[in-house]
Structure 1
Amino acid sequence: MEEKQFSITIPEKIVEEFDLENEEEVILSIKDQKIVIEPKKKVAGNQTLSLRWFLIPTTVISLLFLGYLIYTDKSQIALVGAYSIANFVLSFGVLSGVFSFLVFFVKGKRNQITTQSKDIYWRNFPTILLSFIVILVFSLLVFFKVIGLVFIGATFDRYTATLLFFVFVGLVNYFMIYSALSITPAKLTNLLIFVIIGGVLLAMITNKDYQWWQFNFSFLGTIEAKSSWQFNLTLMFSSLLMVALIDGLFVELQKAIPHSKRLTILRILLTLTALDLGAVGLFPYTETGPFQGVHNQVAGYLVYLIVALIVGIKWLLPNVTKEFLSISYMIAATLVVVVVLFQWTSYLSLTAFELLAFMLAFSWIVLLLQNLQKMAQNLNNSFLVKIKLNPKKQVVETKEDTSGK
């Protein structure tokens, strides 16, 4: 029995965006119960380019490291410590990674290589770069802290140290290059989650001996707290990330739904929420000085903005799903219960109240951002496919899907 042949008609928009040619081979695969079509030459090209370019800066930096050890006549170097492999990785390795990120992000924006960062705008680039630097440094600090506990007092000769340095810096460059090539609005949301949760947890851990929970959640940002800058910087940094993410999402949404007053109002409210979050960190709680009471005011505004968003989301967000509405109302109801248990019955302590309110509000914001991403993806990059059976072949006709579903 002769095998049936099928053909697919690809929209002109896709052909132009990926620079496809007639009779060109593409790769069709099934991933997570989805049919994925990828240009063959682009997939192979990306892997070769990444391997080549992450090895180049790694080799150069490693040779400079070896040259420095020879020049300073260092025969042994510690794994961790004041003068160690760890310190060199945290300085020269991070600089190498930042340079690699810059190069590949610029190449991607200029369409010199295939990248997913085309929807990332230049005005948001500084915040994104700083985000990845913070994550990289934080990860390296934790990694070398653990390594230092496992290999106490370990030292290596200059050549073994150079080999270890090469491996560590290679991983740094690969991470930064991969990030520059694959960054998307969805990954920015994951970045936001990592930054805010990681920063808050770090502030809690570093203040564990101060029993901060006996005061309130805001104590983590006060001058009495140990390393309060970590907590405040986390809030301000998360604010910048939210602004960058909101900006990119709404640019894409307004391409599909131009001149929408409801979307404009939603964008303004979300941006104000992000800026207010940053203000909570910028003005820590204090009972003296010129900014006395400012922290409580901006924290109160944050609550009002979240409530306004939850109540008005049905009218502000086009094609909002019933599932998301139900979750929104459940979170709103839970917030009301938390307020009642704290203010009217005194069942909850101030710390428990602030923690619960923060987690509920942040969870809802993340859900909203994910729904906005899905909507932007469906409106701009989804196509409704209609299959017609033909005696000779099966022809697939496509038309752009603007339903948002």
Structure 2
Amino acid sequence: MYYVHSQYPDVTLSRRVTELDIERRALWAGLICSLFGLVVGLIIFAGERPPLFGDLSVGIVSAVCGAVSAGASSAYAFRTMLRARETWLKRIPAWRQMVTALGLVLVHVASTIMIMLVVFHLLQQAFYGLHLDVLAGALAVSVSTGISAYLSLEATARINAESLSVVLGIFMCAGVLISMLLAEDQNWWRSMFSSLGTTQAGMGSFWTFNLTLVISGLVLAAFTEFLTRDLVRLAQTYRCRPALERYKIARMVRPRPKLVRWCLLLVSMGIIGIGLVPFDVAMEVHSAFVQMVSVAMIFLLLGTIVLLPGYPVVFHLLSYAAIGAIWGAFQLWNQWSYYNLTGFELSVVAIMFSWISVFIRTTSAMTQDRSEPRTTHSPSELEKAKKKPAAKGD
């Protein structure tokens, strides 16, 4: 506990970087990167009439330029703004800062590529056969690149545990959905969920699915740093309930941010391992990573009442309900054959991410409540106190 507390001694936000600073720098990033996209488009499309999507198209060039701009803007925002606003980031070890930065940068790069390709593919379907001239194509790349840089810088500079969890959920869902659509084997779902990450499903599905898992694991590791900071803030203000103080065992139970952090890190490492080692490459290693994720999550769910005292009772009940739901999903697959292995895996993933979402929102709400000053006076009493003239000698 002391090790974790010593890394997060400052729980206040620095005011050196204001909201106006972020907006101004984001606009500059968007302007500079839009000029970069314009120049690249004019060079690549010289003498060509590019389509919206396909080989050497506006969509492909926009995806590449947008990814470069999004990655550079996100890295700049992390280095110069996020670390200045969240001063505790400077106090964690350098390698953990690197992992956090890498997760944030890669998720913006990958999200930009996916969004660009999907949008321009849909536009090509809507405007079938349309080809642009050099200027129009370069301007489209310029606009796409500028927007990517602007949004990435804004998102990174203002990131927190709650917003990062939303990014993680959307990115994972989008990546898995795209890998499903790219799967050449339309019957992939008849075997198991991880078959999307095999070469038999097609190279498009193989790369999309596995890269989604690897980047999601890195984002989860980055998210763990922000969540741990919030848990430490709660641990510093934790007080045992008066009704339980007479029980010695209740007084010994304290919040354990470090154990929660290690559980989530094991989950993130397991997800990265699942993406790096598809089951058709080394099935035993792949299964070991799956078991690592499962054990870490089950331990976290079972131990919430000990690891996270002070949380609402309904949250602990929900944690045990999640375990019951997982057991029920297993029985539906193993005993009653209601669905196949893919259905069971999708059910477990949905249950786990639903619980994580509730965990994050509950932690965020508790952190905000603890940070706000409280008063025992009603609003009317406060108004009377303001109007009351000060006594002589005050």
Q: Same fold (TM over 0.5)?
A: yes
Aligned to 1:271: 265
Distance 1:180 1:220 in 2: 30
Distance in 1 of aligned mates of 2:86 and 2:225:
14
Residue of structure 1 aligned with 2:357, choices 326, 344, 366 = 366
What is the deviation of 1:144? 1.0
Question: Which residue number corresponds to residue 331 of structure 1?
Answer: 322
Match of 2:278 in 1: 284
Whole-Å separation in 1 of the counterparts to 2:368 and 2:383 = 32
Length-normalised TM-score, structure 1: 0.75
1:285 and 1:164, CA in 2 relative to 1: closer, same or farther beyond 3 A? closer
User: Any residues of structure 2 matched to 1:167-182 within 5 Å, and which?
Assistant: 167-182=143-158
Q: Is the Cα–Cα contact under 8 Å of residues 176 and 209 in structure 2 kept in the other structure?
A: yes
Q: Distance in 2 between matches of 1:49 and 1:185?
A: 23
CA distance in 2, matches of 1:14, 1:275: 27
Distance in 2 (alpha carbons) for counterparts of 1:308 and 1:202: 32
Cα RMSD for the two superposed structures: 3.2
Counterparts of 2:39 and 2:291 in 1: how far apart (Å)? Answer: 55
Q: How big is each residue's C-alpha offset from its partner over 1:258-317, in whole Å with a ceiling of 9 and x where there is no partner?
A: 59673322222222222223223333223xx7x342323332343333222222111111
The equivalences for 1:14-53 within 5 A come to 17-18=14-15, 42=18, 46-53=22-29
CA 1:15–1:393: 2 relative to 1, 3 Å: farther
Counterpart mapping for 1:171-320 below 5 A? 171-207=147-183, 209-226=185-202, 227-257=205-235, 262-286=256-280, 291-320=282-311
> Alpha-carbon deviation of 1:120?
5.4
Q: Is the 8 A contact 1:119 1:184 kept in 2?
A: no
Normalising to structure 2: TM-score of the pair? 0.77
2:386 corresponds, among 389, 393, 402, to 393
- Determine if contact 2:37/2:138 at 8 Å carries over to the other structure: no
In 2, are the aligned partners of 1:266 and 1:316 still within 8 Å (CA)? Answer: yes
Find the aligned partners of 2:213 and 2:341 in 1 and give their Cα distance: 19
Of 381-390 and 270-279, more deviation after overlay is shown by: 381-390
Check whether the contact 1:105–1:117 (CA below 8 A) recurs between aligned residues: no
In 2, Cα distance between equivalents of 1:253 and 1:370: 12
By how many angstroms is 1:392 displaced? 6.7
Q: Distance in 1 between matches of 2:54 and 2:231?
A: 50
CA contact 1:242–1:274 (8 Å) conserved in 2 = yes
The percent of aligned pairs where both chains have the same amino acid is 24
- Answer 1 or 2: which has greater strand percent: 1
Higher helix share: 2
Q: Is residue 142 from structure 1 mapped to residue 118 from structure 2 by the alignment?
A: yes
1:45 positional shift: 5.3
Separation of aligned partners in 2, 1:245 and 1:349: 32
Contact map agreement 1:117 1:184 (CA 8 A) in 2: no
How has the CA–CA distance of structure 1 residues 93 and 353 changed in structure 2, closer, same or farther, with 3 Å as cutoff? closer
How many pairs does the alignment contain?
A: 351
CA distance in 2, matches of 1:78, 1:161: 8
CA distance in 2, matches of 1:338, 1:109: 41
Partner deviation per Cα, 1:51-90 (whole Å, 9 max, x = no partner): 3442233235424644x36xx8526444333333333322
